[in-house]
Amino acid sequence: MSFIRFSNEQKEQARRTDLVELLRSQGEILKRSGKEWEWKDGSQKITIRGNLWYHQYERVGGDAIDFVRRFCNKSYPEAVEYLLGNIGGTIKTSPHVVKEVKPFKLPPTNKNNSRVKAYLLQTRGIDEDVYQAFEDKGLIYESADYHNAVFVGFDKNGVPRHANKRGIGKGSTFKGNTSNSQPEYSFHWFGSSNKIYLFEAPIDMLSFISMHKTNWKNHSYAASCSVSDRVLFQCLKDNPCIKKVYICFDSDDPGQTAANKISTKLFALGIEYEILVPKLKDWNEDLQFAANNAPHKSADFFLPNKNDERGSERRCQALSI
């Protein structure tokens, strides 16, 4: 399309478009959730409040212009023009928001993983043998574009279906999932025992294993790269030998709220479970605390969740890894 120049007032007007009204005018279905609204992009939940949105799985969001760029596959000028034309309910385009479905693609691979390895071992304190086991299987690598740490999830046929990216630069807080990743196949490891350990983030998973190395390869582990349970139930489906679940989410309110919701599902299905809680906010903080202080026994690194009275007995010593 030809170049379009918009005034600052026009751009601000487009940015502040009420997304609920826009979607409703196009026949989209939204569900009220407290002060917010929920809209489904396929199977993924998008939370909307006024002109702002947030993708609950990918943990990204933005304003109305960002919404149209992402979910209508438009450029910035096209998105602004579209929103200006639709303010007031006048529909200029098709009656439904259509997102172009693109195939999942892994970030480009760097020629070596030296920076990611240094970050995980030196900055995060991950055990070298643990790191190497995952790298050898292609589950961790360094991207060529931004030198992010990439944590790959494969399906049962060995096809990559998910990639979680983590910035490794000094002070970087970047993290997110590659577009079109399938959450049910996020970063995981299958062992032969009947136990699986579920985490929020790949680094927490690697940290926990680093603290409990004895026979660790025998067990299964998964990082939801969120607080979802989709990878857990996919692992239960793909690995029938798993009979007991350890939910190992962060100790903060979002982590423990999600842990208790998952435990409710497991309890209803008759699946044995325990909730393990790090002493600090997450397992990497526990790992780094342990490395910088006097030695502790591994059982001292986590606490049982006292909010959930159902299911199996809570014991710090229950972890016979």
What tens-digit pLDDT sequence spans the chain (321 residues)?
Answer: 445 678 888 888 888 999 988 888 777 888 888 888 998 876 678 899 999 998 877 778 889 999 988 888 788 888 888 888 754 333 333 444 444 556 899 999 999 999 999 999 999 999 999 999 999 999 999 999 999 999 999 999 999 999 999 999 988 888 888 988 899 999 999 999 999 999 999 999 999 999 999 999 999 999 999 888 999 999 999 999 999 999 999 999 989 999 999 999 999 999 999 999 999 999 999 999 999 985 544 434 455 554 555 544 333 333 445
In a domain, residue 182? The reply is: yes
Question: Residues 243, 272: contact at Cβ < 8 Å?
Answer: yes
- 199 lies in the same domain as 309: yes
144 and 230 assigned to the same domain = yes
Spatial CB neighbours of 11, under 8 Å, sequence gap ≥ 6:
65, 80
**Angle in degrees, CA 42, 43, 45, rounded to 5:** 100
- Count structural domains, the chain: 2
Mark whether 240 and 197 lie in a shared domain.
Answer: yes
The Cα–Cα gap between 152 and 127 comes to 19
Query: Of 42, 71, 86, at which residue does a domain stop?
Result: 86
Domain that holds residue 152: 114-318
Torsion angle defined by CA atoms of residues 204, 208, 211 and 217, in that order, rounded to the nearest 10 degrees: -130
Say yes or no: 160 and 37 in one domain.
no
Residues 160 and 298 in one domain: yes
What is the helix (H) or strand (E) element at residue 274, kind and residue range? Answer: strand 272-278
Does residue 121 fall inside a structural domain?
A: yes
d(CA 170, CA 168): 7
Claim to verify: residue 74 and residue 178 sit in the same structural domain: no
CA nearest neighbour of 199 among 249, 274, 162, 243: 249
Q: How many residues are given for the chain?
A: 321
- Do 162 and 296 have their domain in common? yes
The whole-model pTM stands at: 0.68
Pairing of strands 195-199, 272-278: unpaired
Q: Which tokens in the block code for residue 192?
A: 């032969």
Do residue 131 and residue 268 come from a single domain?
yes
Residues 142 and 75 in one domain: no
